[in-house]
Structure 1
């Protein structure tokens, strides 16, 4: 029989081990509980905060660029809703299509009603290809790389984006809101409207001129998003709405612009001209109603972004239209009137320089009005004999020659007018009949507008108004009107210009039935591609109706068959004038009764 004490000792050893083990386990459990408490109370909060931060995003709310409209509110340029389709290459590579069953039919993937036989990038590419109008190989190439962001296609319509969303590829493919600049009239006002770059910034034409007004201010939203990139409801913490850009309204009438462009392009073909330019200006307010050329460039195209409208940039000698400014100065200075009589020889030599007219003639008895009607260089020199060089220069400047138009158009060339002190013995006389200086079409139009506007030069404008996102509208900022010559002087010159028009109308050129017209033609030799005076500029500027001026129209043709401005640019002027009178339903003119004699 075992001794009791010995038996107790035998049992005590295992019990002691069990007790020790129990204590150790209790300590471990306590440590785990403490650690669990730390994780739940301290680290849990930190982990939750980190998860929240990971899910929280700031999303930019893009502002829409403002519209460009014509004088009647017709939209010429606007930004429309578009999407950039983005793929997640890493997620695409792990993609497994979900077969369509009655239970999964609302979020499964199939192609043409049949299960996909591929997985990963190939399956995603097969689903997207018909919607993006791209090959599966091209899409697959974009998704085969590393990273989580790959642009698949830009400028996708909302309709296509909705179809992509219906593929249930959340977290793999999604759309980022963007916009596309759309020009609904093709090449109408193409280069003049210009275009925007990839960032939506205006880089040419009106888009550049009014970029500050057209550009809006982006907003933002801060919220938490789910695994598919969707916003988790109720998690938005901060937001600022986007402010769209202002709408810019032009003074140009789209219908008139279209009509003028059509007439100009047809005339270019008819006269086989190198190019053509036409400007229509409202006499009463200086607003440009049409600004056309024969360059066929679509607005918003790369060419439009890299070019300047010929009507803004092209400069040329105005030729005999310049006689209008000369004679205005002569009369204003009290040297002559339009009724003064001159005997004009066929040639004239001054200071060793020989001058002639465009046609041969003997001694002619013309009044100064007759000199303008016959466009005589010699007669203009004789009438200006006592007009000093400084005055010759001063009056050209007063009419706006050699100065910016004030429109601020990108790429505008202001032409060239040298100081009188720089003129040589010949230039001092050639400037009297529009040679020896250059202008652009806008300058020339506004200069003739002085005669139409009773001797006052009004500032031109191309922007009618700017309307902000808040609905507030401001008119265009223009300079002050400037009196160039007295009203009585302008009426004399207008009278003589009307005789010019009648002269051409009697020959079947440049007349507008039912309306009195005051005009002047011009022809000037210019340097050709060979650097010599081998090219011609033919131009014609007129006021219609002459008895109640509404519009100034200027037409310029380069190297037309028929050469002389009155015979080529003149008929184009007449077509445009007829179109304007019909469109605006201008009443017919009253008969002319006050013509200044042109001969004596």
Structure 2
């Protein structure tokens, strides 16, 4: 390395050597501006000897570098940074840039001119002139505007000291693009405003109705509009049961402050003892959820006047509000047939239950907008919607009030004479199949049904199952006449008894062996032997077929819940004794109503008509709807039906006949007595069921009446069934103004 010429004047002489001076003015990490003396004009000079003339190529390179630095400074200004002043020579910033380990060091001084011959080492040793000091470079001061980092060091010079070739020149860094950033910011703003706008539209159009409805719901009050239950009338329009406005009395136990005093005050008005009311007024919790009990019923169906008195007491926790109750003017009149409703006006038994969907109306609702707090009153002009209540339809029955009343009275009086267990009476219109009356004993007060015993609630005529006994013999004779097995004037040889299987069957009126008995005699004496012999000729299949045609062993469909179907044995199931028992009405089960309908077919010239109870339906607007015609079919011919009716007249008119107690003066009566047993779960129960079924007038029957009575003793039922039939038939014929018979019953020959 050449030494500095000591003869060259140096204004820093005496301080440092040439190398030291260079390092002092161009330390690592400093710019040429910081290391040049104040009088330096930025042009390269020789360190010794006379001043060298400027080189045009060096001047051009210097101008190019200055232009590059201006571009760099201009890019920073675009990024929002204030432009920095350029140095006089290199354009470097006045501030010394902070050193960063990742930054490259570069000399921003202009490239020295090419060395000339003879120059030697004249340019060495002076700082800031010619090429940089040995091994030292300045830090790049510019930053890359795209990365936010400093610009990479300028390249393209040759490290002459180390003899490395120069790198290819690097393109100047790209300037910032404000228009691109502006477009991006605009797009983001538009997206933001679009989202906000869509949400506002959603609030205004999509969600607004929901918000409005939610707010409105908080201001709405609802009032139920109860729908009256339809009434039930008799055939002439007399009210059997109807709904009347009433009140209920309830209690919120949490609000009762004086349990004892409240119970004492309510007791006389509600018709209950204070000790009965006190437990209902006590606070309590529900068994399942454990929540506080906030309501209990005290009384339903209270009349309006009494309820107003209760309300006037202003007792804490006591609630009085609108209710409905069923009013039955007849109380127990046809109670077993009509049934009753529950506390919620839903039918529970009888017609009330069977036709509940017709009788029950649809409750309405009044919804209106109210204020809050003390202004909790309807808002004039506010929301108001009323759904009118739809009252239930009413039913007009085929029942006649007067006949029903007399039928029940007569049955009850006769039942009490023999201390009967139960009884049933059915009154049918033979020509139409309409049920005129249907009484059950015992009965109950339908106005207060919840105190009744279970046996008092049943409709015995349609639910009790019995073996019919001798009343079944009319079915055997009908089939035999229709099939030609016997003729009206036929006779049958009989004896005192007959054996079938393991059973011997005896007659109550025993005749010598070989006696010829007529068909009127068979019915008058109720001959088991003659009936079994005719059934043998008829055959089990034919008898079973006619039993079905007469409606036995199947529900009549009258419309009363709980109706029993009875039971018939198919011929293939018959045993040896069945050939003797079934023809006389045993080993089978029927209901009193089924047997009444079978006799009505004989009275109606051989046509069976389904018994029915509903005459018409009356809508709330008064529109009348009649039910579909009842089912009907022919069983026997009119001639055979008329012949059989005449044969059965012997039961009430022939000497020593079994049905004299059922005879009715002035009218020809055709009928039959019977004795059987009640069947429960397929087994006979203790006691006897006596019966009588008849029709009048026999020459042209209008009504059929069946009476069944179960007594604890033997024979008592037959003694009361006949008289009960007679009295009921007498009133029915007079009530409907049926003229007495003009021709007397024939004189019957019973046996030879």
TM-score (norm 2): 0.63
RMSD of aligned Cα (Å): 3.6
Match of 1:480 in 2: 631
1:383 alignment partner, SS class? helix
Contact 1:88 1:147 (C-alpha < 8 Å) held by counterparts: no
Using a 3 Å threshold, how does the CA distance of structure 1 residues 339 and 129 change in structure 2: closer, same or farther? closer
- Give per-residue Cα distances to partners, 1:508-532, cap 9 Å, x unaligned: 5211111111111111255799x77
Aligned counterparts of 2:279 and 2:674: Cα–Cα separation in 1: 64
Name the structure where strand makes up a greater proportion of residues.
Answer: 1
Aligned counterparts of 1:559 and 1:68: Cα–Cα separation in 2: 33
- Give per-residue Cα distances to partners, 1:132-158, cap 9 Å, x unaligned: 678999689849899996457443333
1:366 alignment partner, SS class? strand
Structure 2 spans left out of the alignment, 5+ residues:
1-210, 285-290
Aligned counterparts of 1:563 and 1:342: Cα–Cα separation in 2: 27
Deviation at residue 247 of structure 1 after TM alignment: 0.7
Match of 2:691 in 1: 539
Residue of 496, 499, 508 corresponding to 1:349: 499
Using a 3 Å threshold, how does the CA distance of structure 1 residues 579 and 319 change in structure 2: closer, same or farther? same
Deviation at residue 252 of structure 1 after TM alignment: 1.0
Deviation at residue 426 of structure 1 after TM alignment: 1.3
Question: Does 1:326 pair with 2:476?
Answer: yes
Using a 3 Å threshold, how does the CA distance of structure 1 residues 124 and 192 change in structure 2: closer, same or farther? closer
Aligned counterparts of 2:248 and 2:581: Cα–Cα separation in 1: 60
1:195 alignment partner, SS class? coil
Superposition pairs for residues 461-480 of structure 1, below 5 Å? 461-480=612-631
Aligned counterparts of 1:362 and 1:310: Cα–Cα separation in 2: 40
- Give per-residue Cα distances to partners, 1:382-416, cap 9 Å, x unaligned: 22332121101111111111011022321111111
Aligned counterparts of 2:468 and 2:708: Cα–Cα separation in 1: 9
Contact 1:279 1:555 (C-alpha < 8 Å) held by counterparts: yes
Question: Does 1:159 pair with 2:311?
Answer: no
Match of 1:181 in 2: 326
Aligned counterparts of 1:362 and 1:122: Cα–Cα separation in 2: 82
Superposition pairs for residues 399-478 of structure 1, below 5 Å? 399-478=550-629
Match of 1:217 in 2: 362
Match of 1:249 in 2: 396
Deviation at residue 538 of structure 1 after TM alignment: 0.8
Aligned counterparts of 1:572 and 1:378: Cα–Cα separation in 2: 29
Residue of 213, 226, 234 corresponding to 1:62: 226
Deviation at residue 478 of structure 1 after TM alignment: 4.6
Deviation at residue 483 of structure 1 after TM alignment: 0.2
Contact 1:527 1:534 (C-alpha < 8 Å) held by counterparts: no
Aligned counterparts of 2:337 and 2:317: Cα–Cα separation in 1: 42
Aligned counterparts of 1:246 and 1:427: Cα–Cα separation in 2: 49
Aligned counterparts of 2:383 and 2:518: Cα–Cα separation in 1: 84
2:662 alignment partner, SS class? coil
Aligned counterparts of 2:518 and 2:279: Cα–Cα separation in 1: 83
Contact 1:504 1:511 (C-alpha < 8 Å) held by counterparts: no
Structure 1 spans left out of the alignment, 5+ residues:
1-46, 94-119
Match of 1:43 in 2: none
Using a 3 Å threshold, how does the CA distance of structure 1 residues 393 and 313 change in structure 2: closer, same or farther? same
Superposition pairs for residues 171-570 of structure 1, below 5 Å? 175-225=320-370, 227=374, 231=378, 235=382, 237-299=384-446, 301-302=449-450, 307-350=457-500, 353-363=503-513, 364-503=515-654, 509-525=661-677, 534-559=686-711, 563=715, 567-570=719-722
Match of 1:81 in 2: 245
Aligned counterparts of 2:529 and 2:233: Cα–Cα separation in 1: 48
Contact 2:559 2:612 (C-alpha < 8 Å) held by counterparts: no
Aligned counterparts of 1:123 and 1:294: Cα–Cα separation in 2: 44
2:572 alignment partner, SS class? helix
1:439 alignment partner, SS class? coil
TM-score (norm 1): 0.78
The number of aligned residues is: 527
Using a 3 Å threshold, how does the CA distance of structure 1 residues 595 and 347 change in structure 2: closer, same or farther? same
Contact 1:58 1:222 (C-alpha < 8 Å) held by counterparts: yes
1:384 alignment partner, SS class? helix
Q: Point out the more displaced range, 541-550 or 590-599.
A: 590-599
Contact 2:418 2:716 (C-alpha < 8 Å) held by counterparts: no
Q: Point out the more displaced range, 268-277 or 125-134.
A: 125-134
Deviation at residue 173 of structure 1 after TM alignment: 6.5
- Give per-residue Cα distances to partners, 1:170-190, cap 9 Å, x unaligned: x98764322122323222222
Deviation at residue 84 of structure 1 after TM alignment: 3.1
Contact 1:191 1:304 (C-alpha < 8 Å) held by counterparts: no
Contact 1:203 1:305 (C-alpha < 8 Å) held by counterparts: no
Aligned counterparts of 2:329 and 2:676: Cα–Cα separation in 1: 38
Contact 1:195 1:304 (C-alpha < 8 Å) held by counterparts: no
Contact 1:272 1:561 (C-alpha < 8 Å) held by counterparts: no
Aligned counterparts of 1:160 and 1:269: Cα–Cα separation in 2: 38
Q: Point out the more displaced range, 447-456 or 586-595.
A: 586-595
1:180 alignment partner, SS class? strand
Deviation at residue 330 of structure 1 after TM alignment: 0.6
- Give per-residue Cα distances to partners, 1:446-488, cap 9 Å, x unaligned: 0011110000001110111111112212123354210001111
Aligned counterparts of 1:345 and 1:140: Cα–Cα separation in 2: 73
Contact 2:367 2:385 (C-alpha < 8 Å) held by counterparts: yes
Q: Point out the more displaced range, 181-190 or 136-145.
A: 136-145
Aligned counterparts of 1:141 and 1:482: Cα–Cα separation in 2: 58
Aligned counterparts of 1:197 and 1:552: Cα–Cα separation in 2: 35
Q: Point out the more displaced range, 343-352 or 140-149.
A: 140-149
